[in-house]
Structure 1
């Protein structure tokens, strides 16, 4: 592809959630009718097109592509997380990097709410008795009046809190900068006695935080001993935020009522892993992020950033993580 043919937006070939990447390119075209948008559908097309491209979007960006990218100015990552990218090298090259933060708010918020209601009304018990054709009542609980602690108050955490609001629950938010406040009744930090106190009062613990040095292993044996034994853990963050061995021990010893895990450590969860065997554990295969609206929401961000890029040499981009 020559410089004359260089598109305004280059879309790399890897898709996500089983949705054809063509839909992403089409969604960007709809939002940028005055721009050229090209989809590199093969490895060879990627290598050729990346040479002169200045504005590129995709799920991944490996070292080989970066080596070939002679004029790259912006890489719009199509994932919310950017830990898989060669960020140091991109920064050395002066490439602006953005992410997809915010696209998962509604769908993961609904996933969390569904998991909480499943345990509240004990639908898993009802499903088990239905399979057995067993008409026998069982005890359930109410969500109203419960305390829900949400770890991480980014787009996903805020979406969870919005969906909990009509249910009459008390909410505690956990974030790095509690002085900023948030959409919860209380906001605390990760350090000190406040977090332990929150665990002791929690009925539903929702993990919606990034994986960092602070959050890695945050829910360890001590946390699982401290938490209310009637509490339910819901993890839509990353598997290593929870100490898996400690969680298995907690479930075996009835330290907690149950867990809903969309992410695990290790992941994928091996077939022989004991977490598969607990009736009070719900496992989904990192599926909370799936939504048919993913590419549309992402295209909104990318199109806006392309227009900002048009406006100046050093634009302020939405969701910018580098530089």
Structure 2
């Protein structure tokens, strides 16, 4: 154990165990190093093998990682906090964690800047039709084409969490009207209007929407949220941008809408199924832009995540409590 600080006994010091899985192709060692730089008085251990995970987790009270397999959880005799390194926690054994009284936090907010930029880039690409310009450049074709203007458009953002708010923030200055859709509209939000998932309210918003941005979690409420009826309601000049989860959109209905010109186009960072099969017709539609679930990538991922986790460790050290942490997930 490293030397204690003035306000804590040695028994109050909280070391951190980092599990071995990384993300976005960035070595998980960078995450461990980021935590060490923020917690110089703590021991940050990286379990680099399955055996090390099972061994080291036995005495660890604070554990962080992308995943938590059942066989590793079986050995977690002392764990009080699991700091999930993803924003979503649906892949975790939440029932078992709840039964054990483990506090779970997530990485909400880590993706805000990069995903906000990704969405705005998609909006501008379809507004100015850069994809058409790229096609003509490849053909060495100097021929003008018509474009659109974002000013005075209406952008509807479904999901006003950290990502949705980042999108709205980055749209400021473009002169657009914004509508936010969230489970609890009474919370308000940064958009000009905020509505819930009531069907009539949603369709009223869709009927006025030029760019529909999906940035919501996948829940029973949002699964299949955008399907045949919604595509019929959307204006024919509208564009769908999905950085949420593939199943929020009915893929067959999306394909029909694109092929039938019910909407102008779609930018898809997520699909259903995912990965999108190589022979799927969405690949070959000229009004579709596909990125391979890449909007979440940022070189600053581990730095932002370490800020959250290290802040919670310091709070636990100071209070001795394992609740009321930043990004705590309700189980």
Q: Same fold (TM over 0.5)?
A: yes
> Unpaired segments of 5 or more residues in structure 1?
none
SS in 1 for 2:155: strand
2:244 pairs with 1:237: yes
SS in 2 for 1:173: strand
2:318 pairs with 1:320: no
1:192 to partner: Cα distance: 3.4
Question: What CA distance in whole angstroms lies between the structure 1 residues aligned with 2:234 and 2:323?
Answer: 46
C-alpha contact (below 8 Å) 2:103/2:322 kept by paired residues: no
Cα deviations across residues 274-313 of structure 1 (Å, max 9, x unaligned)?
A: 1001011000000000000000000000001111222213
C-alpha contact (below 8 Å) 2:103/2:323 kept by paired residues: no
1:179 to partner: Cα distance: 1.5
C-alpha contact (below 8 Å) 1:308/1:316 kept by paired residues: no
From 37, 45, 48, the equivalent of 1:41 is 48
> Once superposed, which parts of structure 1, at least 4 consecutive aligned residues long, lie more than 4 Å away?
none
Residue pairs, 1:118-129, within 5 angstroms? 118-129=125-136
Q: How does the TM-score come out when normalised to structure 1?
A: 0.97
Question: What CA distance in whole angstroms lies between the structure 2 residues aligned with 1:315 and 1:226?
Answer: 44
From 167, 171, 180, the equivalent of 2:178 is 171
Residue pairs, 1:61-72, within 5 angstroms? 61-72=68-79
1:322 to partner: Cα distance: 4.2
Question: What CA distance in whole angstroms lies between the structure 2 residues aligned with 1:214 and 1:224?
Answer: 18
Cross-structure match for 1:266: 273
Cross-structure match for 1:198: 205
1:7 to partner: Cα distance: 7.3
SS in 2 for 1:76: strand
Cross-structure match for 2:153: 146
SS in 1 for 2:179: strand
2:324 pairs with 1:292: no
Cross-structure match for 2:3: none
Question: What CA distance in whole angstroms lies between the structure 1 residues aligned with 2:235 and 2:323?
Answer: 48
User: How large is the RMSD of aligned CA atoms in angstroms?
Assistant: 1.2
From 142, 145, 151, the equivalent of 1:135 is 142
The number of residues matched between the two structures is: 319
Question: What CA distance in whole angstroms lies between the structure 2 residues aligned with 1:292 and 1:98?
Answer: 21
> Unpaired segments of 5 or more residues in structure 2?
1-10
Cross-structure match for 1:309: 316
Question: What CA distance in whole angstroms lies between the structure 1 residues aligned with 2:223 and 2:77?
Answer: 37
Cross-structure match for 2:4: none
SS in 2 for 1:148: strand
Question: What CA distance in whole angstroms lies between the structure 1 residues aligned with 2:329 and 2:321?
Answer: 17
Cα deviations across residues 204-253 of structure 1 (Å, max 9, x unaligned)?
A: 00000000011000001000011011000000000000000000000110
Q: How does the TM-score come out when normalised to structure 2?
A: 0.95
